Structure formats: structure tokens, C-alpha cells
């Protein structure tokens, strides 16, 4: 945890919470000055961690926060408006969690991404930083992959971000998002099983033509990437292209949060 009040004027604070872990970084433009992952069990743990950050990071100009890899639905905005709750129930099953919508034009027409909300995150963050801006980690990740593929229109790509609690998986082909989902099935070959299932449903049989991009809690020589290399010829670990004042041991774990930059 950051300790000691310092002058942080001109910098920004980015936050992501998955219910049990808070990931935060302080940045200015494309430079990351501080980054940390904190164990925060439930809203009480989140509140305590945020209050310590508020005390330590005096003078931060901008705060941006997000749920870390929540379950979500996606559809064209023209068919979603006013039906967010029904669409969420159709895709994810009944839930008492209210929907929160984000919008993007990165996928050919305006698209709505609807997350299962955890109002405790919004309440705790905005009680300390009333002007904090909310973002979607899922949408940020998918838009990044789409931008990367714009110059590679013939490429088919599976992009995966692995968090503490869940993983986001997606398939892109011919410059289009074909499939995406979040899973908490992280043990063993769970992620590989869901990806292969998704490819089969989309009619893909020649896996040799598909690149796999990983970010998040995954290691170059770890079991997960080695498992994918049994089925795919091209498996790559992506790291964020930012400047670090004091770089973390595993920068790939920060890949999605850093894409909320540039800050300040």
C-alpha cells in the first residue's frame, strides 16, 4: 500500500476491483509511477483500501475505476435500448445485479456492452472521489484487440485476459469480433476448453491459422500458455507499451488497466 502523503497533482489514479482484489496504479500521461494489487475481501476491504489510497495520494487530479472482468453481454445498441435487463437475463441468466451499459463504435456500428453491476464499487469509489469516471475493463480490452487488428484484416485471433477471479476470452476474424465471454473456470484446461468450444461453434477447424494473444496473470513458460501451444502454432504474451518508473515483475498483469491511459 502507498504510504506517506505526497504531492500527486497532475496525475491520475486508475482502479479495478473484482470483489476480492483491488488493482491500482498512479500515472501521468504514459508514465506509471506506482502500481499495486491489494487483497480486499468484500466491500469492507475495498473501503479500507480506498481510504488509505485517498490519504496517501493527495492531490490526484483524475480517478477512473472499473469492475475487473465482470460478466457481460454485447449487442448492437439499436436492439438493446430499453431492454438491457432482459438481454442480460437472456445471455447470463436471472440476476439481482443491475445492468450498467457502455458504448463503442469500434465494432462497425454502435455497440452496447452491458455489465452485471456491483453497486458497492460505485458507492465506495464515488463517496471518496465524487467526480470519478467509470470505465469498462471488458470493453477496453476488446477495443484494444480491434485496433491491433485493423492493419491485419486477414488475421484470425483469439485474445485472452486472465485475472485473479475470471478470464475474458474473445475471437476476432476478418476484422470483426465474432465471440466473447467471461469465465471463472480458471483451473486446469478450463480456459482452453471454452476457447476450443467457441471456435467449434464458429465453424473453425484449422487452428494453425489462428494467433493467440495473452495478457494478465499468465507466464511465458507457464502451464496455461504451454497448454495452448499444443493446439495453436502462434501463442504470444503481450505487455503494455507504457513507461514505468519502477516496473513490476509481471507487466502483462497490468495490460488492461494501463489501456485506460493516457492519464492526466
Query: Residue ranges per domain, the chain?
Result: 12-69+123-134, 71-117
Domain 12-69+123-134, CATH: 3.30.420.40
For 28-58, the pLDDT digits (tens) are 988 999 999 999 988 899 999 999 999 999 8
pLDDT tens sequence for the chain (264 residues): 555 445 576 799 999 999 999 999 999 988 999 999 999 988 899 999 999 999 999 889 899 999 998 899 998 999 888 888 887 777 777 777 778 899 999 998 899 999 987 778 999 999 999 999 999 999 999 999 998 887 776 688 999 999 998 999 999 988 889 999 999 999 878 999 999 888 888 888 767 688 999 999 999 989 999 999 998 989 999 999 899 998 899 999 999 999 998 765
SS3 per residue for the chain: CCCCCCCCCCCEEEEEECCCEEEEEEEEECEEEEEEEEECCHHHHHHHHHHHHHHHCCCCCEEEEEECCCCEEEEEHHHHCCCHHHHHHHHHCCCCCCEEEEEECCCCCCEEEEEECCHHHHHHHHHHCCCCEECCHHHHHHHHHHHHHCCCCCCEEEEEEECCCCEEEEEEECCEEEEEEEECCCCCCHHHHHHHHHHHHCCCCCHHHEEEEEEECCCCCCHHHHHHHCCCCEEEECCCCCEECCCCCCHHHHHHHHCCCCEC
The pTM for the full model equals 0.90
Q: For the chain, what percent of residues have pLDDT higher than 90?
A: 59
For 129-169, the pLDDT digits (tens) are 999 999 999 999 999 999 888 777 668 899 999 999 899 99
Amino acid at each position: 500500500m502507498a504510504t506517506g502523503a505526497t504531492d500527486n497533482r497532475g496525475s491520475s489514479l486508475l482502479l479495478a476491483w473484482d470483489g476480492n482484489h483491488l488493482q491500482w496504479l498512479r500515472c501521468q500521461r504514459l508514465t506509471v509511477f506506482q502500481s499495486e494489487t491489494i487483497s480486499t475481501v468484500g466491500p469492507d476491504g475495498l473501503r479500507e483500501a480506498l481510504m488509505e489510497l485517498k490519504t496517501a495520494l493527495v492531490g490526484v487530479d483524475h480517478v477512473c475505476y472499473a469492475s475487473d472482468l465482470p460478466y457481460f453481454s454485447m449487442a448492437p445498441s439499436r436492439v438493446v435500448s430499453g431492454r438491457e435487463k432482459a438481454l442480460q437475463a437472456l445471455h447470463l441468466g436471472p440476476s439481482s445485479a443491475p445492468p450498467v451499459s457502455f458504448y463503442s463504435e469500434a465494432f462497425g456500428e454502435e455497440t452496447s456492452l452491458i455489465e452485471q453491476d456491483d453497486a458497492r464499487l460505485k458507492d465506495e469509489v464515488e463517496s471518496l472521489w465524487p467526480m470519478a469516471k467509470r470505465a469498462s475493463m471488458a470493453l477496453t480490452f476488446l477495443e484494444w484487440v480491434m485496433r491491433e487488428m485493423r492493419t491485419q484484416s486477414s488475421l484470425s485471433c483469439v485474445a485472452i485476459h486472465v485475472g485473479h477471479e475470471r478470464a475474458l476470452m474473445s475471437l476476432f476474424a476478418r476484422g470483426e469480433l465474432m465471440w466473447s465471454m467471461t469465465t471463472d473456470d480458471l483451473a486446469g484446461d478450463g480456459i482452453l476448453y471454452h476457447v476450443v468450444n467457441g471456435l467449434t461453434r464458429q465453424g473453425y477447424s484449422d487452428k494453425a491459422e489462428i494467433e493467440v494473444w495473452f495478457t494478465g496473470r499468465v507466464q511465458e513458460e507457464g502451464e496455461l500458455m504451454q497448454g495452448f501451444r499444443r493446439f495453436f502454432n502462434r501463442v504470444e504474451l503481450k505487455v503494455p507499451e507504457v513507461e514505468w518508473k519502477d516496473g513490476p515483475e509481471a507487466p502483462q498483469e497490468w495490460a488492461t488497466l494501463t489501456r485506460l491511459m493516457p492519464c492526466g
